Amino acid sequence: MTSHDVQAAPLAVGLGESLLRLSAPGHERLTQIRHLDVHVGGAEMNGLIGLAALGFRCRWLTRLPDNPLGRRIAGHAAEHGVEPAVDWDADARTPLYFVEHGAPPRPSEVLYDRSSTAMTRLTASTFPWVEEVHGAMVALSTGITCALGPEPAQAVSGFLAAAREAGAHTVFDVNHRARLWTWEQAVPVLRRVLPKVEVLFTSRHDLLRLVVGATAAEDTVELARQAIKEWGHRVVVLRDNAQSAPGRVTVTMTALTAEEVLTSGAHEAQVVDAFGAGDAALAAFIATWLTGGGLAGALEASAWACAFQHTVVGDAWQVRAADLEGRGQAWRILR
């Protein structure tokens, strides 16, 4: 693909924060660390990376500290085909999190260290939304960005509103992070965002909190339908990852529209690194659906992508369209 072909590709724009993930190597414990593995992740950027691999032109709006760690994050996006549009901050902290990979019955541990980061200073006027979403086919953000503070939440609203206005498909993943905000804090904020969302990635657990008057007695389909009715989503997508054996996960996904309920096949994976799996599911769904793969095809691709991403070291889901089609082989001789 030359630079000129690139210009012809559909544009996806995302808004969100990415962090340095510092992991104890292998199954070592954080109390033992002499070395750390460094990865970069962030829901929106991860989703854009997946879209870029499937042929989208992607731009990622973010704020980063103007230091080598901030540049490390921006370089990661660029390396994976996503153009970082960064509002650099001379003083802010780099968002970090520390990870210990468990093994049953030892839990994996995550220690966030993301206070006072550049993205917490995002405001509704950091980026000229109308200009940034111009020509976009997709606009993507998540509840994590909303959780960074009232100003960032307002920015997400502004971004999605501008996108919808410009005719883009708006995509939102609820992604509740209990360490960032409580459900009490989250619900009113998210309810203001949801009317701007065309494709919603969420879970039964989220819907019980978000849908007005929801009760545990209602089944998931009913809850999703209420969300559709209330906020006008075109599709609601629910992911389910269950541990099928120590070291293995089985992924099944469900998509609901006002008329349809579709469930994917079950895809089992050997867990190498679980991070980024939900974002891979989102990217595969959006890319397949928007390029004419149909809802069922998009859902199946999405569940497979989610399983696949559990086997990949790091958050970046880099699968090409041909891989998506040829899934199922155990060996691939490239040449």
Catalytic residues: 279
Between 217 and 330, name the residue whose CB sits nearer to its own copies: 330
Min dist CB 230 to its own copies, Å, is 30
Min dist CB 87 to its own copies, Å, is 6
Residue ranges in 78-97 that form contacts with its own copies under rule CB under 8 A: 78-81, 83, 85-88, 91, 93-94, 96
Min dist CB 132 to its own copies, Å, is 8
Between 66 and 218, name the residue whose CB sits nearer to its own copies: 66
Go through 22-60 and write b for each residue having 16 or more CB atoms within 10 A of its CB, e for each that does not.
bbbeeebeeeeeeebbebbbbbbbbbbbbbbbbbbbbbb
Min dist CB 218 to its own copies, Å, is 26
8 binds its own copies (CB under 8 A): no
Q: What is the CA radius of gyration of the chain?
A: 19
- Pair 69, 305: CB distance under 8 Å: no
Q: Measure the CA–CA gap between 203 and 171, rounded to whole angstroms.
A: 15
Between 231 and 275, name the residue whose CB sits nearer to its own copies: 275
Q: Which of 165, 222, 268, 325 binds its own copies (CB under 8 A)?
A: 268
Sheet strands (E) in 147-265: 169-173, 199-202, 235-245, 248-256, 261-263
- Pair 138, 290: CB distance under 8 Å: yes
292 binds its own copies (CB under 8 A): no
CA angle at 309 for the pair 65 and 133, rounded to the nearest 5°: 50
Min dist CB 219 to its own copies, Å, is 25
328 binds its own copies (CB under 8 A): yes
Between 61 and 290, name the residue whose CB sits nearer to its own copies: 61
Min dist CB 277 to its own copies, Å, is 12
CA angle at 255 for the pair 284 and 305, rounded to the nearest 5°: 25
Q: Which residues pair with 78 in a beta bridge?
A: none
Residue ranges in 112-131 that form contacts with its own copies under rule CB under 8 A: 112-113, 115-116, 127-128, 131
Residue ranges in 133-192 that form contacts with its own copies under rule CB under 8 A: 178-179
Q: Which of 59, 169, 225, 239 binds its own copies (CB under 8 A)?
A: 59
**First CA to last CA across the chain, in angstroms?**
20
243 binds its own copies (CB under 8 A): yes
72 binds its own copies (CB under 8 A): yes
Q: Measure the CA–CA gap between 218 and 233, rounded to whole angstroms.
A: 19
- Pair 123, 154: CB distance under 8 Å: yes
22 binds its own copies (CB under 8 A): yes
- Pair 25, 48: CB distance under 8 Å: no
Cβ-proximal residues to 31 (8 Å cutoff; 6+ apart), any chain: none
Stretch that binds its own copies, among 153-161, 216-224, 279-287, 327-335 (CB under 8 A): 327-335
Q: Which of 226, 257, 318, 321 binds its own copies (CB under 8 A)?
A: 318
Q: Which residues pair with 117 in a beta bridge?
A: 93
315 binds its own copies (CB under 8 A): no
Q: Which of 11, 19, 47, 76 binds its own copies (CB under 8 A)?
A: 76
